[in-house]
Structure 1
């Protein structure tokens, strides 16, 4: 191993506008969340590879001698990502005794780690290490938790293998990589997402890598250089849903009522573009109440359009009603049918309003976080910054979840 210890983090993501319409070639705006996944990689001399996932109460450990049998007789160390090695994936599935139809969260995380680890270190001696991952992101809520994991794995393993340099500068507690190295991180993270999801769009891992705001249209992703940080309430209704079924339902509506639904898609596209323009203005000139008036109106209109598409849910209606009663504006984010919603917070919003809103939402059985969007992408952290800040932040949000192996 070129690097004996590496600590990295990557953000989750939310869709600001354009979900579902983006499937049909329209513009979507994806933003990073100031809720992150953290990964600590440390070399060891145990002859084992260990993975700790305290959020999902998982600890797995393998002997290096067993893992070496997964590698083919000849294996060149990969620096350029092409397509997943199906043979290696099959051996990994057999190694951890899972089938494609039996992949829980733990299994998907494990397979993604093993694939990147064996691919990047497979040409030499496999190193002994411990990897611990902890996250502020709920799983299965459409907030890019798997992509944040994939980005962290990619960055840490590429750094440890020497494929990319350390991002930390002298006396710096936090650092990021060059554009070239970020592209390599993103390409390996996309491999992890492909392993987990089969056919990902690439939006989630791109947001996790670059952060900020991303414009996505017809398969083309463009990071926006100017985007303000916005305060939001992020609410998880905890209602499960099938993204695949919801996407299919929207397509059925379009096929059944094309003269009605195509104008709806065009209107969603216009909302995304109008929001992009408003956010650009907020980054280049003095922010006024009128800017927030526009953002709130766009949120309300987009939520109604999503209901027309058939991806609303009574729990989301309750969320919108409770926040509007406090003068706040909310829309679903992601696939809909339950899942999560985002509520915009104006700079002048009184603290008591936020606290009372959170109490209302929690009283309805929802999980709720005050956070922001538009923050940085993948970063490397020094041991000092982790011990002085990140552990405390995690423990505050997750007091009942111990971080295994930390000292």
Structure 2
């Protein structure tokens, strides 16, 4: 039983290189962002378990006694196992959702209920439990995305920089804390549809697309090598190489058909300020990343952010290589974060 407030956080993630190529067995590099999601667990005597997700407007509560009376034999408590379609349907009944309850808000609630009922309040927090946390996070991903790669949950659990290839995940040692801009074009897209479109283009033009995927793989490997060198002794020359890799990868992704006019605009706006950008993730809209060299003056960074904001984009200045899941005390948090958590 939790006897005091527990505050934990996990970082967001972006793909540095290897989008879409990773689906075809190539290397991808994923990095943890210094933009974090916080979870606050607080005991109270109301007899209810309450879920509050303010960013997506979800606030639900369940009577604990009634949850305990629910037939949860369809769940396998204790082991991080993949939820079946039948289990998801039964969870919808517990949540009181309609049969088509598959919007993002409903899926978030289903993921919470699945983890809550399966783990059954068993709380452990040691370094050795990180693998267990990672496995449970993966199952939550499967509730929402169906067949995820495992990259997102691994990066958020372990932090730093992750190398992913054909299901095998390893962490890069001592990655440099590169500063970037993360920009959201606000264009929605379907990862599933974009992956299918690349596969279709590969089948239609195998002699053209296969070398593109091999080249993206080479970009990931060169970036990995460069990050290794920077861990020992970072220099401006390393950043110039990273900028070249970013430009080449962006051109390849456009050739694969996963670009977007607003992503092109993002790249053009940052290039006008001497900066280099690429899409991150599935493409077709979504987000892009911009590398910030250490020789940049802050006024130039602010001018770039303002130019992107003037395009109607959302823009955040952050860094990559952030630590993974962490436990916090209230005193260790910045004042704005403490204030934001008060209402949770």
User: Are the aligned partners of 1:211 and 1:374 in contact in 2 as well (CA < 8 Å)?
Assistant: yes
Query: What RMSD over aligned residues (CA atoms) do the two structures have, in Å?
Result: 1.9
Q: Provide closer, same or farther for how the CA distance between residues 91 and 69 of structure 1 changes in structure 2, counting only shifts above 3 A.
A: farther
Change (3 A) 1:109 1:288: same
Shift of 1:47: 0.9
Within the candidate set 234, 250, 265, 1:287 is matched to 234
1:306-385 map, 5 Å: 306-385=253-332
> How far does residue 54 in structure 1 lie from its aligned partner after superposition?
1.4
Q: 1:66 to 1:211 in 2, by over 3 A?
A: same
Structure 1 runs of 4+ with >4 Å offset:
73-77, 85-88, 402-406
TM-aligned CA deviation for residue 18 of structure 1: 0.4
Structure 2 SS opposite 1:43: coil
Contact 2:74/2:87, CA 8 A, preserved across alignment: no
Aligned twin of 1:252 = 200
Moved more, 191-200 or 318-327: 191-200
> Unaligned regions of 5+ residues in structure 1, if any?
122-156, 166-176, 396-401
Structure 2 match to 1:83: 82
Deviation at 1:64, TM superposition (A): 1.8
Render the CA deviation track for 1:35-73: whole Å, top value 9, x for unaligned: 010010011111111111111222111112321232346
TM-score by length of 2: 0.95
CA distance in 2, matches of 1:71, 1:378: 32
Distance 1:107 1:325, change over 3 A: same
1:47–1:295: structure 2 CA closer, same or farther, 3 Å change rule? same
- d(CA) in 1 for partners of 2:77 and 2:101? 30
* Aligned-residue offset at 1:75: 7.9
Is the partner of 2:226 in helix, strand or coil?
helix
Equivalence map 1:148-187=2 (5 Å): 161-162=122-123, 164-165=124-125, 177-178=126-127, 180-187=128-135
Aligned pair count reads 344
Matches within 5 A, 1:131-146: none
Q: Distance in 2 between matches of 1:302 and 1:204?
A: 21
Which one of the candidate residues 231, 244, 250 is aligned to 2:179? 231
Question: Following the alignment from structure 2 to structure 1, what is the Cα–Cα distance between the partners of residues 338 and 343?
Answer: 15
Say if 2:109 is the partner of 1:110: yes
Q: Runs of 5+ in structure 2 lacking a partner? A: none
Q: Quick one: structure 1 residues 27 and 182, their matched pair in 2 at CA, closer, same or farther if it must change by over 3 Å?
A: same
Q: Is the 2:236–2:294 Cα contact (8 Å) retained in structure 1?
A: no
- The aligned runs of 1:11-30 (5 Å cut-off) are 11-30=11-30
Q: Go from structure 1 to structure 2 and tell me whether the alpha carbon gap of 1:249 and 1:88 turns closer, same or farther (over 3 Å shift).
A: closer
Q: 1:299-351 CA deviation, whole Å, 9 max, x = no partner?
A: 00000000000001000010000000000000000000111000000011011
